[in-house]
Amino acid sequence: MMRLAVIGTGYVGLVSGACFAEKGHTVVCVDVDPAKVAMVNCCKPPIYEDGLQELLDRNVPARLSATTDLREAILTSDVSLIAVGTPFDGEEIDLSYIVGASQQIGRALAAHEGWHTVIVKSTVVPGTTEDVVLPILERESGRRAGHDFGVGMNPEFLKEGEAIADFMSPDRIVIGGIDERSIRVQRELYQVFPEVAMLETTPRTAEMIKYTANSLLATLISFSNEIGNLSAAIGVDVAEAMRGVHLDKRLTPFSGNGDRVKPGLLTYLAAGCGFGGSCFPKDVKALVAHGRRAGASMDLLQSVIEVNRRQPGKMIDLLRRTRSDLNGARISVLGVAFKPGTDDVRESPSLSVIQSLIDMGALVTVYDPVAQHEAERLFGSSIAYAATLAEAVSNADAILVMTAWPEFRQLPLLIERQVRTPFVIDGRRILDKFSVPAYAGIGLPFAG
């Protein structure tokens, strides 16, 4: 078992740290935010993720702790994982957190007495580990990568909302290393996942695998949305059209006994009000910028971004077909999180829709089972907040379903029980289109 320091205690850092601790490694999570650190040490998850509370309960403090003291964490560990944020700054990937963490790690490495391997887990554009992180580590430590310490790149593929399950049962583990020893250390780290396919490669290829995977999934979503918008315009329900497409065995293969296997890919081949989150939007933009700098045109991925930028606006378009003047209209927005199972609202399509509604003078009420506090933080008293789904539904002229929370499937039942009949606009196509009296959805011809 290894001693591990995880730098950055966010969605990826904390989940990785808690899961590695659960598997038996000794983990110290580092963050610059003392509030997060204090919460972890008190067994309180600073983020919402199913199963995280139980992992903290079982592993803090015996195998999992948190600190703001990065130097001490490095000096007492064999491996460090860099899991800090890598936002998009409007022009290109913002590596400032990566640079800051690398400088601190490098300074600590100068005093490290044993062998230490630094592994980049954050999503970084190809070349970053070898061309940015490694030189900083060497400069700050006065030591040589490959001779005095190891350097690796291990992208993370977990999905928010299912992060613990994904980390504990990953589809694959990708490990890139600058040399055989850097690969071997990561192999040892992941020995606790013996069943999982492991791909060993260079840091640059590991970085590229992550961007390629995210860009493909984002492309499927924007493709589905473009087809959905066309379908609605020409009198076709995209959900039915996609059902026919999904029957292709290359998309939904049969298992040996003739049953369809889990149609994971099809989640991404479905029209909706657009993708959000902390990864797809920024990662596709960063790859486009990086690709252009390398001389590639990146036209397809640029269009993926553009289709997605416009997609939340389709919800407003649909709403305005039910009522052209939204001034004074009572609109309930269901869902603020960018997807179900998380309280993360970064780049959530819901945010731009709420802002447009406020700008048009609508009286907005928001309900989200776990991300409500984020809406309160962002919109304050300019909108109202419902404590329950039932409260959000009562009194609304129209209801916009922005997040596919399972709870929202109760809408037909709640609407049936009340006298008012709100117009339901389904941005995630989670409801049967005949289950409520007045229904409109993305990718569905508008019936009025």
When asked if residue 389 is in the footprint of ligand NAD (CB under 6 A), the reply is no
Residues 138-157 that bind ligand NAD (CB under 6 A): 156
Binding mask 102-121 for ligand NAD (x = CB under 6 A): --x-----------------
Residue 209 interacts with ligand NAD (CB under 6 A): yes or no: no
The one among 13, 152, 228, 274 contacting ligand NAD by CB under 6 A? 13
Among 23, 36, 285, 290, binds ligand NAD (CB under 6 A): 36
Strands 79-82 and 3-7: parallel
Q: In this chain, which of 2, 3, 33, 107 binds ligand NAD, going by CB under 6 A?
A: 33
Residue 257 in tokens: 């006994």
Stretch that binds ligand NAD, among 93-101, 230-238, 285-293, 333-341 (CB under 6 A): 93-101
Among 5, 8, 27, 145, binds ligand NAD (CB under 6 A): 8
279 a catalytic residue: yes
Which residue is at the shortest CB distance from ligand NAD?
A: 10
290 lines the binding site for ligand NAD (CB under 6 A) = no
Shorter beta-carbon distance to ligand NAD: residue 33 or 376:
33
Q: Please, what is the minimum distance in Å from the beta carbon of residue 31 to ligand NAD?
A: 4
Smallest CA-to-CA distance from 47 within 23, 19, 14 is with 14
- On whether the CB atoms of residues 367 and 392 are closer than 8 A, the answer is yes
Residue among 58 and 71 whose Cβ is closer to ligand NAD: 71
Q: Which of residues 127 and 146 has its CB atom nearest to ligand NAD in the complex?
A: 127
Residue 161 or 441: the one with the smaller Cβ distance to ligand NAD is 161
The site map against ligand NAD for 318-347 (x = CB under 6 A) is: ------------------------------
Q: Which residues 240-279 are close enough to bind ligand NAD by CB under 6 A? A: 278-279
* Residue 443 CB contacts under 8 Å (≥ 6 apart), including other chains: 225, 227, 228, 229, 231, 232, 237, 238, 239, 271, 429
Q: Per rule CB under 6 A, is residue 9 in the interface with ligand NAD?
A: yes
Does the footprint of ligand NAD cover residue 12 (CB under 6 A)? yes
Q: How far is the CB of 412 from ligand NAD (least distance, A)?
A: 32
- Which residues, including other chains, have CB under 8 Å from residue 228's CB and lie 6 or more apart? 238, 271, 272, 442, 443
Q: Does 10 bind ligand NAD (CB under 6 A)?
A: yes
- Is residue 368 near ligand NAD by the rule CB under 6 A? no
- Picking from 379, 432, 402, the residue whose alpha carbon sits closest to that of residue 332 is 402
Which long-range contacts link 137-141 to residues 24+ away (Cβ below 8 Å)?
137/102, 137/105, 137/106, 137/109, 138/106, 139/106, 140/102, 140/103, 140/105, 140/106, 140/107, 140/109, 140/110, 141/106, 141/107, 141/109, 141/110
Instruction: Pick from 26, 65, 77, 122 the residue near ligand NAD by CB under 6 A.
Output: 122
| Selected range binding ligand NAD among 24-32, 305-313, 369-377, 415-423, rule: CB under 6 A | 24-32
Q: DSSP string spanning 203-239? A: HHHHHHHHHHHHHHHHHHHHHHHHHHHHHHHTT--HH
Give CA angle at 40 (27, 406), nearest 5°. Answer: 105
| Min CB(71)–ligand NAD separation in Å | 11
Which C-beta is closer to ligand NAD: that of 70 or that of 366? 70
Concatenated DSSP letters of 11-57: HHHHHHHHHHHHTT-EEEEE-S-HHHHHHHHTT--SS--TTHHHHHH
What's the start-to-end Cα distance of the chain, in Å?
Answer: 63
272 three-class SS: coil
Q: Output the CA–CA distances (angstroms, integers) from residue 33 to 13, 39, 69, 80, 376, in the order listed.
A: 13, 10, 11, 18, 21
Alpha-carbon span 82 to 173, nearest angstrom: 16
Per CB under 6 A, 78 contacts ligand NAD = no
Q: Which position among 59, 65, 77, 86 is part of the footprint of ligand NAD (CB under 6 A)?
A: 86
Q: How many residues bind ligand NAD (CB under 6 A)?
A: 28
Span near ligand NAD by CB under 6 A; candidates 84-92, 199-207, 386-394, 412-420: 84-92
Pairing of strands 384-385, 363-367: parallel
Among 84, 393, 398, 440, binds ligand NAD (CB under 6 A): 84
Of 17, 45, 85, 340, the one binding ligand NAD (CB under 6 A) is 85
Q: Is the CB of 315 or the CB of 336 nearer to ligand NAD?
A: 336
Residues 14 and 48: beta-carbon distance below 8 Å: no
Residue partners of 427: CB distance under 8 A and separation at least 6: 272, 273, 312, 315, 349, 400, 401, 402, 441, 442
Q: Show which residues are catalytic.
A: 279
* Residues near ligand NAD (CB under 6 A): 7-13, 30-33, 36, 70, 83-86, 97, 100-101, 104, 122-123, 156, 158, 160, 278-279
